[in-house]
């Protein structure tokens, strides 16, 4: 069955005045009756397809919003309802307000207004369902092998799209730091273009859009892997693995690849272990966190056995 025929939503009030919450609840009343479209309001994020958020994001609700989003299964869409959720509204300059929802998680549909009208909310949900259906279709194509993923070297003209993908992909990683001002999220397009002069970027493209990327700095027989990113929608479908294998094939002169990972990022450590990387060093950073260094020795006979992705 198509997801848009029976979408389940979950609603979270960030820090609103409850004006948008009242209008959201009004959508469930007999006057608007969104249930006639198969829409059900759920309390469990693991059952939800659409995440509705009202109110601005502050320091207290950041973890809750990320937690709900990460528990939702893919594909999923996020709808920011009201001017506070879209940009922070009149609270945007408050000391404890981060801004709109997109400061914490990716947003698919924005419904401005103060308060947003029920008609606008329903229209926003309908737009979100179109995006949800498209995401579902692409995931099914990837799972079946019908979607063709092209792996190739990126050009400086791709810097803008890679930078946007980088900020999207690393939003979930910031939970390990509790700091959304880390350099990788605040990098500018100028700095990204400068990086192209000193490193090689590779991209995974599907349907004309970049869904994954990796940066490699090579120095003779050693290569350093940096910023392996995959669009959250397409994770767990082997895109990251294909990028690493493509890099290993591309750098014929490199016989040792290294990567550094935050010690708390257990899932990334497991990912690289699955690619036969081994931990060879651990060290403490200036802020007391642990950094793990992993390596992989690659020999010519191993490259020859691999099939070009």
CA distances 161 to 78, 102, 295, Å, are 20, 17, 29
CA distances 201 to 29, 137, 184, 226, 228, Å, are 52, 28, 15, 9, 10
Segment 266-273 mean pLDDT: 90
What count of residues does the chain have? 309
Name the CATH superfamily housing domain 150-305: Gcn5-related N-acetyltransferase (GNAT) (3.40.630.30)
Question: Which top CATH class is 3-144?
Answer: alpha beta
CA distances 260 to 46, 114, 200, 257, Å, are 32, 46, 17, 11
pLDDT, tens digit, 9 for 90 and up, residues 51-88? 999 989 988 888 888 888 878 887 889 999 999 999 88
Structure confidence at residue 32 as a pLDDT band (50, 70, 90): confident
Determine the pLDDT at residue 92.
81
Kindly report which listed range (25-39, 107-121, 293-307) carries the lowest average pLDDT score. 293-307
> Per DSSP, what are the bridge partners of residue 255?
none
Segment 129-137 mean pLDDT: 86
pTM of the model: 0.60
Where are the chain's structural domains?
3-144, 150-305
The total of other beta-carbon atoms located within 10 Å of residue 155's CB is 10
Q: Cα separation of 100 and 84, whole Å?
A: 6
Determine the pLDDT at residue 253.
86
pLDDT, tens digit, 9 for 90 and up, residues 89-130? 888 888 888 888 888 888 999 999 998 999 999 999 999 998
Q: pLDDT averaged over the chain?
A: 84
């Amino acid at each position: 069955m198509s997801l848009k025929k029976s979408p389940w939503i979950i609603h979270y009030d960030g820090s609103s005045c409850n004006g948008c919450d009242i209008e959201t609840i009004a959508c469930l009343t007999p006057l608007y009756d969104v249930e006639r479209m198969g829409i059900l309001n759920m309390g469990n994020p693991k059952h939800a397809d659409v995440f509705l958020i009202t109110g601005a994001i502050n320091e207290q609700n950041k973890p809750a919003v990320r937690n709900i989003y990460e528990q939702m299964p893919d594909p999923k869409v996020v709808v920011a309802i009201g001017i506070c959720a879209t940009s922070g509204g009149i609270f945007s300059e408050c000391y404890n307000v981060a801004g709109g929802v997109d400061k914490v998680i990716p947003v698919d549909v924005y419904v401005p207004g103060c308060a947003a009208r029920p008609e606008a909310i329903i229209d926003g949900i309908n737009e979100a369902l179109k995006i949800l259906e498209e995401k579902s279709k692409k995931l099914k194509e990837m799972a079946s092998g019908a979607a063709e993923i092209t792996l190739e070297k990126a050009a400086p003209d791709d810097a803008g799209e890679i930078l946007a993908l980088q900020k999207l992909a690393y939003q979930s990683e910031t939970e390990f730091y509790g700091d959304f001002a880390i350099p990788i999220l605040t990098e500018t397009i100028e700095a990204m273009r400068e990086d192209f002069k000193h490193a090689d970027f590779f991209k995974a493209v599907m349907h004309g859009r970049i869904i994954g990327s990796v940066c490699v700095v090579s120095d003779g027989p050693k290569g350093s892997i940096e910023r392996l990113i995959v669009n959250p929608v397409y994770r767990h479908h082997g895109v990251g693995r294909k990028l690493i294998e493509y890099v290993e094939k591309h750098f014929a002169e490199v016989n040792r690849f290294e990567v550094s990972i935050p010690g708390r990022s257990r899932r990334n450590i497991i990912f690289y272990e699955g690619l036969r990387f081994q931990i060879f060093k651990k060290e403490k950073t200036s802020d007391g966190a642990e950094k793990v260094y992993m390596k992989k020795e690659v020999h010519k006979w191993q490259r020859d056995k691999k099939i070009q992705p």
